Structure 1
Amino acid sequence: MRFVPKFTLLYLTWLLLLAAALYSAVTGQYEVTFTAAWTLALTLVPFALPNLIGVRLPDGFIVAIALFLLGTIFLGEMADFYERFWWWDMMLHGGSAIGLGLAGVILMLILLKGNRMTAAPLIVSIFAFSFAVATGVLWEIYEFAMDQLFGMNMQKSGLVDTMWDLIIDCVGAAAGAGAGYVYLTRADARGLVTLIRDFVGKNRHLVQGGPPDPAGDRSAPPASLRDQDSGTEAPSRPASPGRPRVRHRE
């Protein structure tokens, strides 16, 4: 794999996990070894997605996934960051909610196949927000079930922890869904919108149909989306050359 400057944080994550796995193996801390190796393996999954399911993730998505896995599985659990830093869990909840909000926007674009005749940008954003919050609720149910069935302490302070998690989930989901609204209404927007634009550019075969685009164009939203949003029709295809029509006299 060639060096990519955008992947600097990803390379540092791999280096940290590899060093932790080797050091813990030498010192006999095999639980740490397994966790570090498992986390490292998960960070490689996005690179296999193009061959497995035909999805090409943008660089920003890949780096964010790796950092999230590092923060939750390795630093959060093994390094006990959840207990050391009171804001660690809140930060990860907010980050995951933003990611799920963006995922909801992308899912809606894929379902619509680039056709906004049936859904306005506001509807797409509402769906993305609901998708992210619903996923957060399911996670809280999972934590509650683990605590009740196996005596774990995933909810920490119980109801207070759950409510704060859900509030942060709503804020993060609103940010991700808002980025989707901006993407569909302003082609030149930056920030989180860039992640959606990059995904669409790399996966036009999913958003618009047709074969994959190896070049991964990262331009503005597809013309069909922009034209439908502005109320204008997409330019029609020029008529193919052929024999001229002959008008018969009556």
Structure 2
Amino acid sequence: MIDRVRRAVPPRQQRRFSRAMQLILVGIVAFGIVNGNPKAIVNGGLALAITFLPAVLERNYRLPLDPWLALWVTAAVFFHTLGSAGMYGHFHWWDHLTHALSASLVAGIGYVTVRALDLHSDQIELPKRFYFFYILIFVIAFGVLWELFEFGLDVFAAQTGITMPLSQHGLDDTVVDLMFNTAGALIVALWGQAHLLGVAEQLKERLQGAVEQ
């Protein structure tokens, strides 16, 4: 599945998509500065900073982050920022999209970290079937913690009167969020592991170098 999408979009086009989203994020920050909107400045600025993270990791730590992975990271923060700018209120499915994208990113990070430790240590040997269930459990647990975090923000907002950038919308919304989190995790568990193995192997080498030093 992921291979088909990657072949359909050449690397140069992937970079163009990433640059286009970054330019829109710059526009959101500029809009916030001109109109005195701190929410647009903070959300757009943080998202823009995160989009440069793959390039920083590739340059400073020599991690093999190809344009597809950079596009993945950029898309996740880009769609969330647009949601905070008003899309969540206009399209009920926008929240589902961002939850699935964000969950797939969390799944990828969780997989790369544990796979690198597995490759690095001779004392750790994890069967391939383990990773499928690990990715699902890792994302579900992260999703539950995130919902608890949003609940805590709601309590804080109710007590202080301060508007929070995140909030819950009832138990039904929480259950739906967790379902789409699981969908994002399934995509990585079923089709994404092969595309993240190179990153895990490079991270393993970095761990070995740090230990030897």
TM-score scaled to structure 1, two decimals?
0.65
CA offset at residue 102 of structure 1? 2.7
The secondary structure found in structure 1 opposite 2:168 is coil
Percent sequence identity over matched residues? 22
What are structure 1's unaligned runs of at least 5 residues? 180-191, 212-250
The secondary structure found in structure 2 opposite 1:80 is helix
For the pair 1:14 / 2:22, whether they are aligned, the reply is yes
> Judging changes above 3 Å, is the alpha-carbon distance between structure 1 residues 175 and 41 closer, same or farther for their aligned structure 2 residues?
closer
The one-letter code of the counterpart of 2:102 is S
CA offset at residue 44 of structure 1? 1.3
Note the alpha carbon deviations across 1:11-36, whole angstroms, 9 max, x for none.
101221223434554x4344334543
Match of residue 47 from structure 1: 55
What are structure 2's unaligned runs of at least 5 residues? 1-10, 159-163
The one-letter code of the counterpart of 1:204 is Q
Give runs of ≥4 in structure 1 deviating > 6 Å: 114-117
CA RMSD of aligned residues (A): 3.0
> Judging changes above 3 Å, is the alpha-carbon distance between structure 1 residues 195 and 116 closer, same or farther for their aligned structure 2 residues?
farther
Match of residue 143 from structure 1: 150
Distance 1:141 1:205 in 2: 31
For the pair 1:170 / 2:182, whether they are aligned, the reply is yes
Match of residue 61 from structure 1: 69
Q: Larger helix proportion, structure 1 or 2?
A: 2
Structure 1 residues 167-206: aligned runs within 5 Å: 167-179=179-191, 192-193=192-193, 195-200=195-200, 203-204=201-202, 206=204
TM-score scaled to structure 2, two decimals?
0.75
> Judging changes above 3 Å, is the alpha-carbon distance between structure 1 residues 37 and 94 closer, same or farther for their aligned structure 2 residues?
closer
Aligned length: 192
Distance 1:163 1:113 in 2: 35
CA offset at residue 57 of structure 1? 2.7
Structure 1 residues 78-227: aligned runs within 5 Å: 79-113=85-119, 118-151=125-158, 152=164, 154-156=167-169, 158-179=170-191, 192-193=192-193, 195-200=195-200, 203-204=201-202, 206=204
> Judging changes above 3 Å, is the alpha-carbon distance between structure 1 residues 30 and 94 closer, same or farther for their aligned structure 2 residues?
closer
Note the alpha carbon deviations across 1:153-186, whole angstroms, 9 max, x for none.
6112x1111111112222322232223xxxxxxx
